[in-house]
Amino acid sequence: MSLFPHVDELIAETIIPLSGEICPVVASPGRVASRPLLARVPQPGYDQATRDGFAVGAGGDNVVDGRRFRIDGEAPAGDIQRRVLAAGQACRIMTGGMVPDGAERVVPQEDCVVDGGMVLVSARGLARKKTFIDRQGSQVAVGELLVDQGSILQTEDSALLASCGHTEIEVYRRPRVGFFCTGSELVESAAQLVPGLKVSSNRYLLEGLIRQFLAEPVNLGVVPDTAGALDEILAKIETASLDAVISTGGMGPGKYDLLEDAFRRAGGKVVSRALAMRPGASTLVGRLGRTVFFGLPGPPGAVRTLMNELVGPALLQLQGVADYAPVTLSARLQQRVEIRTREVLQIKPGALNMTAKGLEVRLAGRLEPPTCFILFPPGCGVLEPATEVEVHLAWSPEVARLFRG
Ligand SMILES: Nc1nc2c(c(=O)[nH]1)N[C@H]1C(S)=C(S)[C@@H](COP(=O)(O)OP(=O)(O)OC[C@H]3O[C@@H](n4cnc5c(N)ncnc54)[C@H](O)[C@@H]3O)O[C@H]1N2
Ligand code: MOO
């Protein structure tokens, strides 16, 4: 659960996870398991030597300070022949090699002396606590749960899944997320810049953040503030096989803020038209056919924050991530903050610092990527330095590791 239940409810009632598809294990990091994944083969898959040395069993001649065995063959790593060790015999073995049946331990070669066809194993080598045999299934048993449904797969998971017998797994489909930026003042690139126009920086923010939330961005372009242009882009969405669409701008009360009307004309169903937080007052959540729609306000700062707090979590939920809530930490303010609009939750981009005093946070600079978002609850007014505040970490796929329970 996040700190603002209305956002959770909004996501819960609007988002239905997508179906599954097959994915090669090697391409699975960053995907979400759509079924519990169990071990198909044990780990290790066979009794395995963990030292170079000699596998020895019962028997052997007692000699001063040890026992002497007859050397019977070799079990190098990769040799798939099953060997049986008779009493009094030893088999040279390498780390990773398959331990012969009848072997009680592997004695590291440091504790052995080869003498012709015999090997002298020291008493010390025979008395070691460790057997240097990793028994079949001792790390992972067949049927053991490796990764639960709804987990974001990490690189280490792919290595484990492959070791435990998987070549392909079922994952949730990646959402295809269309986005467009409204504003007659906007151009897509600095190459088109003239005074009076500005680069649609939201286009860059959204492309990158959609990817960070493990979805596939589809740029639908820049759209001028006219009813006709908005009708045209919204009409395209239904046929574009998109799971979600994000727009920015056109959500204010101004004369040319036309998005909501166009959305309704296109047959869109509004689920929510304002969030009880800032930014978020001018935010639309709805559905256009089977496509989830987020109408975000234009200011890039608001877009950045709402992607972390609302849209990103929804994109994760679309791909089946179980129980996602932003990672929440407490930190001490490094500065005085005065919150003027006191009636609603305010969320501001922050920069975390680990200092001798513990985790501290300040407001992020104008040009600085935030590492977190600071929550200022309703009625907080003036906050002095050292006040404890709650922060949500800025999402990145690595942050996924922090909430696996
Ligand atoms: N009289 C009032 N005015 C406003 C109110 C209000 O209550 N009364 N609410 C304010 C709030 S809060 C917000 S948020 C904005 C929402 O406005 P829009 O969604 O219509 O955003 P725009 O007007 O289109 O743009 C605002 C600002 O951001 C720049 N912008 C927009 N898109 C981009 C982009 N893709 N890349 C870079 N910059 C972008 C735009 O040029 C404007 O400067 O309304 C307030 N007004
Ligand atoms: O609507 Mo605005 O989103 O509070 O920045």
| Reported ipTM | 0.95
Do both 184 and 296 map to the same domain?
Answer: yes
Asked whether residue 5 is domain-assigned, the answer is no
Q: How far apart are CA 276 and CA 200, in angstroms?
A: 27
Under the banding of pLDDT at 50, 70 and 90, the label for residue 385 is very high
At 135-173, the pLDDT tens digits run 999 999 999 999 999 999 999 999 999 999 999 999 999
- DSSP-derived pairing of the beta strands 186-187 and 198-199: parallel
Do both 301 and 342 map to the same domain?
Answer: no
Do both 230 and 308 map to the same domain?
Answer: yes
Asked whether residue 8 is domain-assigned, the answer is no
Asked whether residue 184 is domain-assigned, the answer is yes
Q: How far apart are CA 344 and CA 305, in angstroms?
A: 15
pTM of the model: 0.90
From 76, 109, 134, give the residue that closes a domain.
134
CATH number of the domain enclosing 77: 2.170.190.11
- Token pair for 400: 């996924």
Asked whether residue 14 is domain-assigned, the answer is no
Asked whether residue 160 is domain-assigned, the answer is yes
Q: Which of helix, strand or coil describes residue 52?
A: coil
Measuring from atom 25 of ligand 1, which residue has the nearest CA?
Answer: 298
Distance from Cα 72 to the centre of ligand 2, integer Å: 79
Asked whether residue 166 is domain-assigned, the answer is yes
* 46, 136 Cβ separation under 8 angstroms: yes
- DSSP-derived pairing of the beta strands 277-278 and 345-355: parallel
Do both 343 and 384 map to the same domain?
Answer: yes
> Which atom of ligand 1 is the closest one to the Cα of 257?
20
At 245-274, the pLDDT tens digits run 999 999 988 887 899 999 999 999 999 999
- Hey, how many other C-beta atoms are within 10 angstroms of the C-beta on 216? 14
Q: Is 370 in the pocket of ligand 1 (CB under 6 A)?
A: no
User: Which residue is it, tokens 């519990």?
Assistant: 36
CATH number of the domain enclosing 293: 3.40.980.10
> Which atom of ligand 1 is the closest one to the Cα of 251?
19
Q: How far apart are CA 213 and CA 317, in angstroms?
A: 10
Amino acid of residue 238: E
Do both 289 and 274 map to the same domain?
Answer: yes
Asked whether residue 210 is domain-assigned, the answer is yes
Name the residue range of residue 381's domain.
Answer: 328-403
Do both 91 and 204 map to the same domain?
Answer: no
pLDDT of residue 397: 76
Any idea which ligand is nearest the CA of 207? 1
Do both 35 and 163 map to the same domain?
Answer: yes
From 318, 337, 369, give the residue that closes a domain.
318
Q: How far apart are CA 85 and CA 103, in angstroms?
A: 6
Amino acid of residue 70: R
Span 207-214, average pLDDT: 96
pLDDT of residue 255: 81
In degrees and rounded to multiples of 5, residue 338 shows phi and psi of: -110, 120
Do both 103 and 84 map to the same domain?
Answer: yes
Q: CB neighbours of 232 closer than 8 A, spacing ≥ 6?
A: none
Do both 293 and 201 map to the same domain?
Answer: yes
pLDDT of residue 327: 87
- Hey, how many other C-beta atoms are within 10 angstroms of the C-beta on 95? 15
Q: How many domains does the chain have?
A: 4
Asked whether residue 118 is domain-assigned, the answer is yes
- Closest-CA residue to 242 (of 291, 284, 286): 291
Residue 1: pLDDT over 60: no
Do both 75 and 199 map to the same domain?
Answer: no
Under the banding of pLDDT at 50, 70 and 90, the label for residue 348 is very high
Residue 72: pLDDT over 70: yes
Q: CB neighbours of 213 closer than 8 A, spacing ≥ 6?
A: 307, 311, 312, 315, 316, 395
Distance from Cα 193 to the centre of ligand 1, integer Å: 20
Span 114-129, average pLDDT: 95
H helical segments located in 164-311 = 201-212, 227-237, 259-265, 300-306
Distance from Cα 214 to the centre of ligand 1, integer Å: 27
> Which atom of ligand 2 is the closest one to the Cα of 251?
1
Distance from Cα 381 to the centre of ligand 2, integer Å: 19
Q: How far apart are CA 345 and CA 101, in angstroms?
A: 67
Q: How far apart are CA 94 and CA 117, in angstroms?
A: 18
Do both 155 and 200 map to the same domain?
Answer: no
From 318, 341, 361, give the residue that closes a domain.
318
Do both 181 and 284 map to the same domain?
Answer: yes
Any idea which ligand is nearest the CA of 295? 1
Measuring from atom 2 of ligand 2, which residue has the nearest CA?
Answer: 279
**More reliable by pLDDT, 238 or 68:** 68
